[in-house]
Amino acid sequence: MFPTLNKSFFSFVCLGMTGGWLASVHTSAVHGQEVDPLRETSLVAMLRDAVPSVVTIYGYSAPGADGKRRVKTGSGSILHRDGYILTAEHVIRDCPLTVVRLSNGRGMQASLVAAMAAYDLAILKLVTKDPVKPLPLGRSDDLMLGEPVVAIGNPRGVGLTVSDGIVSGLNRYAQQSGSFLEGMIQTSAPIYQGNSGGPIVNAAGRQIGIALRGREDSDSLGLSVAVDQVRTRLPVLLAVEARQRFRTGLTIDPLVDPPTIASLSAQGPAAECGLAVGDRITAVDGQNLRASYDWLMALMDRRAGDALSLTVESGDQERQVELTLAEAVDWQPEAVGEALETGLRYETFQFDKEGFDNRLDSALAGSSTSQGVVNGLNIAAIRPRREYYAVRFDGFLNIPEEAVYTFSLGSDDGSRLFLGGKPVIENDGDHPAIIKAGVLRLKAGVYSMRMEYFQGRGQASLELNWQIGNRAPNPVPETAMLHLP
C-alpha cells in the first residue's frame, strides 16, 4: 500500500533521524555504564556488527493530481562499500524516487541501478562518495533445519527491528504474480510488511536470504529468497557488460569466493592476457575483492578500452595481470527482404509419457501433429491434446528501439528462447510456473526468434515478457512477433 506522504515527512527522512532503538546496538556501554558480560552474547555481538549494514527504503510514487507523492517502505542490505544496496524489486516498483535511511539515521537519495521483476531483485546505488559497511553474502547450500537466524528490517515502518527464529524449511516455492519463485527458505522469524527486501542473517553474521512479504492481510510463512539464488542471479540482473558495452572474455563462478574464473572465451581479452579457468582474482586496481560479486561491482563504471590491473592467484602463486576491456560485439538485426506479417509459425508434437525424461529435446522428438501460424503464444489454441505435447514457434521479433532488454520466460513445464540463432533463456524441465530471465543489448530491428515448450502433466502456461531498460516489464506484444508469409 502507498500511504500519502507530505513534503515535511520527506524532508525529515532525508535530513536524518536519531537512531532510537539502534543507539544502544553499537556500543557495549548503555547510558555510560558498562554492560554485564553475561549479556554480551554471541547474538548481541553479531547484531552489533550486522545491523549497521541494514537500511530502510522509502519508495515514492510520482506526484498525483493533488501534487502529493505516496510512499511505501521496505528494507535492504548494503552489498558493497561503494553504496550498492540489495533489495526486493517490489519494494521500489513504480517508485521513481527512492530514499534510503541508514541505521545511524542518516538519509540520502538512491538511484536505481537494475531491477528484475522475474526474480524480485533490485540493486540501488546511494548518492554518496563515502564508503559504507557491507553485509557479506553467505551460502545457502548447507543450511540446516533448526539453525538459528534473524530477520532484520523495518516492519510496518516502525524502524529497524530484529526478530529471531530458526530455519524451518528448505527448497520451498512461493507464488508471485502467477509464477513461482524456487528454492525459497522458510524461517520461524516473523516477517511483516516492511521487512521485504531485508536480510535473513545466520549466526555467523552472513546474509543467507532476502525476506519477502506479500499482502498485509495474508499469513506470513517466513519465506525468503535463498542467497545462492541471489548470487546466481546477480550477474544476470546487473548484466554489466551489456549495459556498459564492453567484453572481459571471462565469467566468474557466482558461488565461490574470492572471484574465481569459471570460463573463458577463446578469443577474448581474458584469454589473451594469460588468465585461466580456476584463477582467483583477489584485487582490481589495488582494491581487494573478497566475494564473487565484488568482481561485478569493480566493473560497474568501466568502459571499453579501460585497462584493469588484476592481482591473480593460481594455486599458491600470485601475479599481476593487465586486462584491457574490449568493445562489445553488438547483436545485429537481420535484413529481411520481404514484408513480415503478425504471428509466429508453429509446429506441435505429441509424445508418450513412458520413458519421457522431462526434457525439451525428448519432447520435440515426438510425432509431429500440426503446423500453422498463430498470434502470440496461444498454446491453448494449438495444442494437440491437454498433456504430453510440445510446441516449437519460429519467426521474428521486432525490437522497437536500441536498449538493454530483459527477457523473462515463464512456463509450466519446460521452455527456452533463442534470438538470432543464439540461446537466450533456458527454462527446461518438469516444474511449476517458473520464470527465467536473460539480458541483452539490442539495436532496433528484427531478429530471428525461436521458442520451444513442452507440457507434461497438470497445469500449462507459457508467457514472454520484456523490460526495456529499467522501465516496468510488460508482455511482449503480439504485434512484435512476426513471420514471413
Which residues does the annotation mark as catalytic?
90, 120, 196
- Closest of 400, 459, 452 to residue 425, by C-alpha: 452
Report the alpha-carbon distance of residue 42 to residue 38 in Å, rounded. Answer: 10
- AA identity, residue 287: Q
Annotate 357-392 with b (16+ C-beta within 10 A) or e (fewer).
eeebeebbebeebeeeebebbebeebbbeeebbbbb
CB 232 within 8 A of CB 140: no
CB 36 within 8 A of CB 25: no
Report the alpha-carbon distance of residue 42 to residue 59 in Å, rounded. Answer: 34
Q: Could you tell me which residues come within 8 angstroms of residue 261 by beta carbon, excluding any fewer than 6 positions away?
A: 250, 251, 252, 253, 270, 275, 276, 277, 278, 279, 280, 281
- Grid cell 533456458 in the structure block, residue: 426
413: cis peptide before it, omega within 30°? yes
- Closest of 363, 383, 364, 343 to residue 478, by C-alpha: 343
